[in-house]
């Protein structure tokens, strides 16, 4: 009897079970594909947009450090300047953010297909026990993920700090 239970677990999932899991928002996803897509597109964007963006940011900084009599005498003028510079900064960064959103959606769709459901957003109060989640924080998988992230940060930091430019 015990052998039949172990044998059932090795069988592939039925079509009905796969459909129900998909309706619940449980589809296989690769975190590494999303990370790779974000890093690759981020590097490509920086390489393509860096000259124009640095020039624009330099002009924004120079304009922000220039003061006239009105800016000094009227306290409200500083708030207006801050709002104006913040809006200019947002417009400078917005294309990068928009591309990052598109890449995040594309990498999510690339592996598991388009799957939109609100069931995945519903709170699961049974999973809010912090003691039950503690072993997951210190598991071998998390240690490997942390090590991989640290190595990635070191490599990216080394490339960014390369003095040979």
Q: 99 with 120: CB under 8 angstroms?
A: no
Q: How many domains does the chain have?
A: 2
Q: How far from 67 is each of 20, 56, 72, 82, CA to CA, in Å?
A: 63, 19, 7, 12
Task: Read off the pLDDT of residues 57-76 as tens digits, 9 standing for 90 and up.
Answer: 888 888 888 877 877 788 88
* Pair (31, 83) in one structural domain: yes
What pLDDT was estimated at residue 149?
94
Kindly report, residue by residue over 142-156, the tens digit of the pLDDT: 889 999 999 999 999
42, 57: one domain: yes
Q: Tell me if 111 is assigned to some domain.
A: yes
Domain that holds residue 60: 27-116
Say if pTM beats, i.e. exceeds, 0.75. Answer: no
- On whether both 42 and 103 belong to a single domain, the answer is yes
């Amino acid at each position: 009897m015990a052998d039949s239970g172990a044998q059932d677990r090795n069988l592939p999932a039925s079509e009905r079970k796969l459909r129900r899991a998909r309706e619940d928002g449980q589809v296989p996803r690769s975190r590494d594909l999303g990370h790779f897509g974000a890093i690759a597109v981020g590097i490509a964007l920086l390489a393509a947009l860096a000259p124009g963006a640095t020039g624009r940011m330099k002009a924004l900084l120079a304009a922000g450090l220039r003061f006239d009599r009105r800016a000094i005498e009227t306290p409200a003028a500083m708030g207006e300047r801050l709002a104006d510079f913040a809006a200019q900064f947002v417009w400078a960064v917005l294309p990068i953010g928009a591309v990052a959103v598109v890449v995040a959606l594309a990498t999510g769709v690339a592996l598991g297909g388009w799957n939109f459901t609100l069931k995945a957003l519903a709170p699961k109060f049974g999973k809010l026990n912090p003691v039950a989640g503690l072993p997951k924080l210190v598991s071998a998988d998390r240690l490997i993920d942390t090590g991989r992230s640290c190595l990635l940060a070191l490599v990216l930091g080394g490339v960014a700090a390369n003095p040979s430019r």
